Each structure stands twice: as structure tokens, then as C-alpha cells.
């Protein structure tokens, strides 16, 4: 039983390592895509490098990562896996209520308490998530988006788990064998 538990523990640790490699790969790819977009102006309903609105920006970035997101920030909030603010990783979408009624703004968490987004009047910029004057008061939640191409790559690069051969214990004799063995003359 200990050997089985130890084997499962090793496999689990390797899987977590693969998850960390995936998160690092996602952050690197995200940086590569976003770094060319800083300074692109804000444009209502914009979805190209000529100008982005907030959801057009996130849609564009994730499309570059091989993922098709819905068009609006409210629709984007309905996809992915919910993530606690304390567990944010680069690439997580962060959502805000800027109009007081519903999800109306989205950005991409890039680490170190910072998110990148297309902001009216400023274009694509970095902003502190916990800005006490505006963004922290309007923060609603975050979602982690599944990026298949990066996860497949991480799985291909993950080290193979060591295979341990566990020998089965000899089978217990059945009743008939036990009776026969007991009735044999002892030498």
C-alpha cells in the first residue's frame, strides 16, 4: 500500500510541475503578444491593432494564443474557471463593473498585482489591480481561460513518471486448498 501511495504522490508532484511549466509558458507567450500592443489607442468596438476597446483587446490577445473568446466583457465573464483574487496567475482575465450595473470592463492579469487593458483615453496600458482610487472598488472577479495549445506543449515536455513494478502478493489459499494441505500427512 505504501508503494502505491508513494507512486501516486510522485505522479501528482510531476503533474503539478507540468502545471507550473504551463503557467510559465502561458506568461511568456502572453508577454510576447502584449508587448507589441502597448500604446495602441482606445477605440470603441475596436478589435485590431489600429484601436481596441477592452474586450476587443482581450479577444485579440487570446486569439493570438489560439483561443476564441466572446466579443463583450460580460460574455467573456461567462467563460473560463473562476479564480480567487489571491490565486491570480498571468493570463487570467480580470473583470470590473465600471457602470454600476453589470460587467463592463475586462483586462488581463500579468503578475505582480498588475493587469493590462485598453482604457478609454489611454489605450493599452498597465494598471495596478488594487488601485485604491478606481479599479479595486470596481473589481468583480477573475476567470482562468483554458489554452489548449500551451497545455498540449506542456504535456509533451513533462518528464515521464517513473514506472515502478509492484509485485502482487501470493493469493491466499481457498478453503479447499487449506483443507487438503491440513489433511496431508506431516513428514
User: Active-site residues: which are they?
Assistant: 54, 105, 117
* Angle, helix 2-34 to helix 148-157, in steps of 10 degrees: 130
Cα–chain center distance at 176:
57
CA 42/CA 56 separation, integer angstroms: 10
Q: How far apart are alpha carbons 31 and 91 in whole angstroms?
A: 9
Amino acid at each position: 500500500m505504501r508503494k502505491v501511495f508513494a507512486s501516486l504522490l510522485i505522479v501528482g508532484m510531476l503533474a503539478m510541475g507540468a502545471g507550473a511549466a504551463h503557467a510559465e509558458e502561458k506568461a511568456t507567450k502572453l508577454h510576447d503578444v502584449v508587448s507589441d500592443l502597448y500604446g495602441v489607442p482606445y477605440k470603441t468596438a475596436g478589435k485590431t491593432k489600429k484601436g481596441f476597446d477592452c474586450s476587443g483587446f482581450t479577444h485579440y490577445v487570446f486569439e493570438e494564443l489560439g483561443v476564441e473568446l466572446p466579443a463583450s466583457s460580460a460574455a467573456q465573464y461567462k467563460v473560463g474557471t473562476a479564480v480567487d483574487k489571491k490565486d491570480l496567475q498571468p493570463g487570467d482575465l480580470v473583470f470590473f463593473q465600471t457602470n454600476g450595473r453589470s460587467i463592463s470592463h475586462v483586462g488581463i492579469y500579468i503578475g505582480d498585482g498588475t493587469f493590462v487593458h485598453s482604457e478609454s483615453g489611454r489605450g493599452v496600458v498597465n494598471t495596478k489591480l488594487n488601485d485604491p482610487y478606481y479599479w479595486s472598488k470596481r473589481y468583480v472577479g477573475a476567470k482562468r481561460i483554458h489554452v489548449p495549445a500551451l497545455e498540449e506543449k506542456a504535456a509533451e515536455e513533462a518528464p515521464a513518471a517513473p514506472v515502478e513494478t509492484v509485485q502482487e502478493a501470493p493469493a491466499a489459499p481457498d478453503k479447499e486448498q487449506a483443507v487438503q494441505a491440513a489433511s496431508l500427512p506431516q513428514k
